[in-house]
Amino acid sequence: MATAVCPHCRIASHFIRQHSYKIHHGEHTDDYQTVVMHACARCGMPLVEVFEDDKTIGRWPSAATNRLRYPDVPEGITDLAREAHASLAAGATRAAVLMARSTVEAVAKDKGITNGSLVHKIDQLRAGAHISPLIAEAAHEIRFAGNEAAHGPLDLDPVSNEDAEAITRLMDKILERVYHEPAEIEYIRMKRTLGPATAQRHPDYAPGDFGSLPEASWVDQPGPPF
């Protein structure tokens, strides 16, 4: 039995082997890969692993980006942010950066700022106190990276995974500051003034869990499949 942070329920769980079978490939009869299906002991969701010569060569999903939690963030914006993460998980780093840029643009639109360039919109968000000076800087960095990815020369170095990851993390930070933190303050205020029964959090809320997903990093290899 292996233990890992489950990409579905996002909790360190045991994975229980359900099925395994061999797939032959290549010319020799001993050229085969082994497919193992596990189920998370907590949520029951599947995780598929492929072995070759007793070594893991693939594991899916590495991150279930459609389950990223964005409590208090408007749905359309959540979709964009999840798409940035899905692109990142697929190794499409330029697409991840472009989706992060679109997410910042959507935040401005949601706050009623629709005119002018993205530079202007970010400055308006800051002027309207929707974002702090520091978060405005983060938004401008996403804008720079997005511009580069969209309009840079064709022989430009591809966006590194590390950079795309940093950009999507900044995107999550912006969403947390703009939507989740004010809602959290409101929740505490409601609890104090109206009592615990009246105060309610967003259904997606989980303590300390916002945006970016941990990879399904296994801490205990299950060993050879047979």
Give least dist CB 220 to Zn ion, A.
16
Nearer to Zn ion, 14 or 173 (CB): 14
Give least dist CB 62 to Zn ion, A.
14
Give least dist CB 67 to Zn ion, A.
10
Interacting residue ranges for Zn ion, rule: CB under 5 A:
6, 8-9, 40, 42-43
Nearer to Zn ion, 14 or 191 (CB): 14
Give least dist CB 47 to Zn ion, A.
8
Give least dist CB 6 to Zn ion, A.
3
Nearer to Zn ion, 36 or 138 (CB): 36
C-alpha angle 43/71/127, rounded to 5°? 155
Nearer to Zn ion, 40 or 98 (CB): 40
Nearer to Zn ion, 3 or 33 (CB): 3
